[in-house]
Chains A and B, each alone.
Chain A
Amino acid sequence: MTSPDLTTAPTPPASDPSRPGRRLDFGSFWDTWGITSVLVLLVLVAVATTPDFLAISNLQSILRESAYLGIVACAMTVLIINGAFDLSVGGQLALVSVLTLFAYGVGGTGLAVVTALAAGTACGMVNGFLVTALRVPPFVATLGMLFVFRGIAYLLTQNGPATLPYTEVDSPFAQIGSLNLALVPFPFVLMVVVFGLAYVLLRRTPTGRRIVAFGSSPVAARFSGVSAARIRFVVFALVGLAVGIATLTYITRVWTADGAAQDGFELSVITAAVLGGASLQGGRGSLVGTFSAVLLVTVLNDVLVAHGVDASYQNIILGTVLIIALAIDGLRTRFAGVNLLRRSFGPRTPKAA
């Protein structure tokens, strides 16, 4: 509770119980700051190898680009901590983008913003309904809705993609994506605010505590009076709301959307959350980690693009980074809390309870 990090739930006891208090070993460090250290290393490499990396416009571009991924990954982290995940966020983003552009055409900035938030939340509530009321497993429910949401977005854009006309470049709506507050891009500010709110939710509200408790042990949570259905419905709705917010920063940057928008977005989002330390078994996840992982992915892309690396290689590199991160995590869990070498070569001691 006194630790300075945002890690909502540390790893369950893998460490030596005889010396609690001082767990400054590689394991606990990696848990909290692992992916952040990798990000720092990557930035150092980027500064050294890419001449224009530190240019303000480049940094702004990275932060602006990371926002829509980060906002959704933040909510996804909360959902993964709760023990589920949402494969439909890509479909949601496409559908909400199309609807938002239509709404802007009809009622301007105000209606567009309201539409984005409402449509996103509605998508999340559909998922929540399927999972809690109809008891469809999250994997299947959200996989199905991915196709449904995208399908609807395709239907709505049969006569060509929805677009924001170029004449609207100075409208308040278009400003959402391009505005800078004291040099910091507004989308990034929005992302930081979302992470802050998620932190407060998880750490300081009964609902957040119940989200973590249910992800930690659904059975024990049930016997502690946690209503699984209510909690899970809320979290799915929050993911939808996050997609709504993310759409506002996304669509005001690309200005156009159809059913194919952001194909594969759901996997990038889950990748960021898992890179950040979220466990798909539930109970465990880190908002700091996800935040760093989102920036890591964006910086990596930026650097690779700057060096003219082909998009296929970008995918290969991202996949490799994900696997290396989880391999370190797996090895760390196995040897956690002890001097790795001493334990490996020393006499076998009984496993700590």
Chain B
Amino acid sequence: MTKIWIKTLAAIILIGLLIAFPKVMGVLNTNIFIGFAIMALFAVSLNLMLGYTGLLSFGHAMFFGLGAYTTALSLKHIDNLPISMALLLGVLGAVVCAVIVSPLLVRLSGTAFSMLTLAFGQLMYIVCLKFREVTGGADGLGGFPVPDLKIPFTGGIDMTDPVNFYYFAITVLGGCILLIWRFTKTPIGSVMISIRDNDNRVDYLGFHVPSVKSLVFIVSGGFAGAAGAIYALFQNMVSTDGVLGLFTSFNPIIMTIIGGVSSFTGPIIGAGLLTILEEFLLRYTDRIALFNGLVLILMIKFAPGGIMGIWDGVYRKWFKRRTLS
């Protein structure tokens, strides 16, 4: 069977499994899956900067949070706003934020970049915390309407129904992940990897490195905003600690490192593993961060390439043996 057929078959099986998931696994697991998919998109968007461009952001929650707050606020204050528009406004909010802060960040790299993103992330957290009249402060913003999904020639689809929302969320999140994947396959994808390897070399090939970094920063922020917007619709509740806190920035980093920084699927696998771990541990303790930290330490110590690094090693060894024998 040719490679293209294998890929097509795998895609059909995956889509089939995603369609069947709520019917087979029930509402509770369906909701857990949506939570995983949101974090997967968030981590994949972060990895555009971390894995592809070599920029470690400690403030990625600002985009996730702005996406969530913009969607929640627009649904609260604009009557009859379609759900798709609320989602787009969430993305737009994150993109505008990225456009504003990127000129200050893109000429930096290494520790300076990480520290300044941390500062901006915390600034956003404090602003939303103190701006109580609009954001609800520490209590958050909840109970905003989640409108039906309007599709021409059909009636509206009730988005408060968990199964309906699952199909909507998975379509949007999966679509976003596919778009990011396509983005990494454009020439810009090669330039991003080259910047990570050595930005001086990219400069003398005629690329303006800060402009490329800026583009990556905006794209990455926009997709993080999309994840935040879906999170707001899913939870019907947005709070500073939930979407802008330090852990919200650290979680996708931990997921990406555990899954494998140098691969596109690594962050998705990391998000899946941590979601499963969290659901398992919640039966016994609420000290989830402690165990996440432990897994991170073990991973960095024994498998710095993450799960995908382990997989690559096993695959190469197996493949080599097969071709030699």
Tell me, yes or no, whether A binds B.
Answer: no
A-side interface residues toward B, CB under 8 Å?
none
B-side interface residues toward A, CB under 8 Å?
none
